[in-house]
């Protein structure tokens, strides 16, 4: 039995209390399974297998002659479904128990429990989506900002796939030329033809490099950016976190050492998810619990992709401030001069010890300067202005690996072709480039790769 021959089912909505839950059933026997466990209301109401496609039916799910729940059942016949197989979706009452009992009735009627991502995997295997589009489905579900959602929707619409197919078609065309010359070895490749092939290779390389440059932004949009808020005790780190989040998340107290552990929360800054980590104040102390908090703060500082250094603008600069600025030299960081509502006492040189970095004055008491700080953070972590076209294509780590290998193989092919290396050796590198590019959209793939991609999906999708 192939993976597409059986009928699968799963709860497609989050577990927990709610008004409704949806059980999704898909496969060649989906309608037969529904016939066995669904009783339509009304004397002349049709069974699911007799119902027209894309229709909704009221009735009850039953098991062993007993009513399980009052439901609405949607009939969707292939190929106009998510999986391109017959599909039934049962809307029942929300809550852990009703959804579980309805699912159990469906499984008892002949379906099997779906694996994570198996519905989307079937959509891919049946040609409804390519692999990059399938991954976009998971990105849409996990999106935490409007910009991340827009990027995922563009990928689902096929923006990335179009560019990948364009590159692959170009490489395939060049490979076909090489194969033709290999079939007729007595005919040397003409200089003009060689130049044309080199131009095509360099054009494909430029397109792959352009896609590879989107990887850092894609990583940020999908997983968020970790930003550690660091500084001496009582400079306003927790107050800054609360201001950035727009709510009281961290305890604020005039007593130094209030924060004993790291606190993590995600904020939406101009459409970019930023995971802010509030840390314990960095200072020398003999108190054991505070020492552990400082140790964790230093670990968070090392792991951060961006450091927000908070200084007290109303107090003189200290050796601890200088040591902290020196520690972040060479790293992406933003300097925040807090307490701008008080008279300034902090001397700030034109060339700070931490190197060139944005310096923003804020008041966590009044909120002054917060918008300027958000803009400085965005400009520090995002290369260039946030233009709408930048959202169209954002490759992920898997795409990055495949495109990197394709680019390296194409570069070897170009160098070998220019150096007059035998064409069969050039063809080997070019074929590797074609296969690596094809991995992005699933035109060159293996079952292990599909397992890795789809096991990260939630159940029911």
**Which of 47, 82, 114 is a domain's end point?**
114
DSSP string over 84-151: SS-EEEEEEE-SHHHHHHHHHHHHHTT-EEPPTTHHHHHHHHTTSS-HHHHHHHHHHHH--SHHHHHH
Task: Classify residue 390: in a domain, yes or no.
Answer: no
Q: What's the CA dihedral at 222, 227, 228, 232 to 10 degrees?
A: -160
CATH code assigned at 297: 3.40.50.300
- Render 221-271 in DSSP notation, one character per residue: HHH-EEEEEEESTTSSHHHHHHHHHTS--S---SSTT---S-EEEEEEETT
Count of domains observed in the chain: 3
Residue 320, helix vs strand vs coil: helix
User: What three-state secondary structure class fits 453?
Assistant: helix
Name all contacts of 124-127 with Cβ < 8 Å and 24+ positions apart: 124/442, 124/450, 125/3, 125/4, 126/4, 126/79, 126/83, 126/84, 126/85, 127/84
Q: Are residues 206 and 243 located together in one domain of the fold?
A: no
Do 369 and 319 sit in the same domain of this protein?
Answer: yes
Helix/strand/coil for 408: helix
Is residue 167 domain-shared with residue 89, that is, in the same domain? no
Do 366 and 404 lie in one domain? The reply is: no
pLDDT in tens, 8-54: 999 999 888 889 999 999 999 999 999 999 999 988 899 999 999 99
d(CA 139, CA 391): 13
The verdict on 229 and 377 lying in the same domain is yes
Task: Indicate whether 386 pLDDT > 50.
Answer: no
Of the pLDDT bands very low, low, confident and very high (cuts 50, 70, 90), residue 299 is: confident
pLDDT digits (tens, 9 = 90+) for 325-340: 888 888 888 999 998 8
| 3-state DSSP assignment of residue 67 | strand
Model pLDDT, residue 248: 66
Is there a single domain that holds both residue 258 and residue 354? yes
Kindly report the CATH number assigned to the domain that includes residue 78: 3.30.1360.120
For residues 92 and 458, what is the distance between their CA atoms, to the nearest angstrom?
Answer: 20
Same domain, 44 and 155: no
**Residue 125 included in any domain:** no
The DSSP bridge partners found for residue 40 are 59
Instruction: Determine, yes or no, domain membership for 120.
Output: no
Residue 207 structural domain: 133-213+397-454
* pLDDT score of 313 more than 70: yes
Question: Domain check: are 366 and 255 in the same one?
Answer: yes
Return the CATH number at 172: 1.20.120.430
CA distance 301 to 293: 12
Question: Among candidates 65, 71, 75, which has minimal Cα distance to 36?
Answer: 65
The whole-number pLDDT of residue 85 equals 96
Residue 236 belongs to a domain:
yes
Q: Do 47 and 147 share a domain, yes or no? A: no
pLDDT in tens, 236-253: 888 888 888 876 655 444
**In this structure, is residue 90 part of a structural domain?**
yes
Q: How far apart are CA 421 and CA 198, in angstroms?
A: 13
State the Cα–Cα distance between residues 244 and 232, nearest whole angstrom.
Answer: 19
Among 337, 355, 381, identify where a domain stops. Answer: 381
Tell me how far CA of residue 101 lies from CA of 26, 62, 72, 95, in angstroms. 18, 10, 15, 10
Residues 279 and 347 in one domain: yes
Task: Band the pLDDT of 364: cuts 50, 70, 90.
Answer: confident
Burial group, residue 158, by CB count within 10 angstroms (0-12, 13-18, 19+):
middle
State which of 114, 145, 173 marks the end of a domain: 114
Pairwise CA distance, residues 4 & 24, whole Å: 16
Residue 392 lies in a domain: no
For residue 320, is it within any domain? yes
Within a domain: residue 219? no
The verdict on 201 and 251 lying in the same domain is no
Q: Do 266 and 377 lie in a common domain? A: yes
pLDDT in tens, 203-262: 999 999 999 988 888 888 888 888 888 888 888 888 888 888 876 655 444 544 454 456
| 290 pLDDT more than 70 | no
């Amino acid at each position: 039995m192939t993976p597409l021959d059986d009928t699968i089912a799963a709860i497609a909505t989050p577990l927990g209390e709610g008004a409704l839950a949806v059980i999704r059933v898909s496969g060649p026997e989906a309608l037969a399974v529904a016939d066995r466990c669904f009783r339509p209301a009304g004397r002349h109401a049709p069974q699911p297998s007799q119902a027209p496609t894309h229709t909704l039916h009221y009735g009850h799910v039953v098991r062993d002659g007993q009513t399980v729940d009052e439901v609405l059942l949607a009939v969707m016949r292939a190929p106009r479904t998510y999986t391109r197989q017959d599909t039934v979706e049962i809307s029942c009452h929300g809550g852990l128990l009703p959804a579980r009992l309805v699912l159990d009735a469906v499984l008892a009627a002949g379906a099997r429990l779906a694996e994570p991502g198996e519905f989307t995997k079937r959509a891919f295997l049946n040609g409804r989506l390519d692999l990059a589009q399938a991954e976009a489905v998971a990105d849409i579900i996990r999106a935490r900002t409007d910009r991340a959602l827009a990027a995922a929707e563009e990928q689902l619409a096929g923006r990335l796939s179009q560019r990948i197919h364009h590159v692959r078609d170009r490489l395939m065309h060049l490979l076909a030329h090489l194969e033709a010359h290999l079939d007729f070895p007595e005919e040397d490749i003409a200089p003009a033809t060689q130049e044309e092939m080199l131009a095509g290779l360099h054009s494909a390389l430029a397109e792959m490099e352009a896609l590879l440059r989107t990887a850092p932004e894609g990583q940020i949009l999908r997983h968020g950016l970790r930003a550690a808020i660091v500084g001496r005790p009582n400079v306003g780190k927790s107050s800054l976190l609360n201001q950035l989040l727009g709510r009281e998340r961290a305890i604020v107290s005039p007593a130094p050492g209030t924060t004993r552990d790291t606190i993590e929360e995600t904020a939406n800054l101009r459409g970019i998810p930023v995971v802010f980590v509030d840390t314990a104040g960095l200072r020398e102390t003999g108190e054991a619990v505070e020492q552990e908090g400082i140790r964790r703060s230093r670990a968070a500082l090392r792991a951060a992709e961006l450091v927000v250094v908070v200084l007290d603008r109303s107090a003189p600069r200290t050796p601890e401030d200088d040591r902290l600025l020196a520690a972040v030299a060479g790293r992406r960081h933003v300097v925040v001069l807090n307490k701008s509502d008080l008279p300034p006492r902090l001397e700030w040189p034109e060339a700070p010890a931490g190197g060139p970095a944005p310096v923003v004055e804020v008041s966590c008491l009044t909120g002054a300067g917060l918008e300027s700080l958000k803009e400085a953070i965005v400009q520090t972590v995002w290369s260039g202005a946030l233009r709408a076209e930048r959202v169209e294509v954002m490759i992920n780590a898997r795409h990055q690996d495949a495109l990197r290998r394709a680019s390296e193989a194409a570069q070897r092919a170009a160098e070998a072709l220019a150096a007059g290396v035998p064409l069969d050796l050039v063809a080997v590198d070019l074929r590797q480039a074609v296969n690596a590019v094809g991995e992005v959209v699933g035109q060159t793939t293996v079952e292990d790769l599909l397992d890795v991609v789809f096991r990260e999906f939630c159940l029911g999708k």
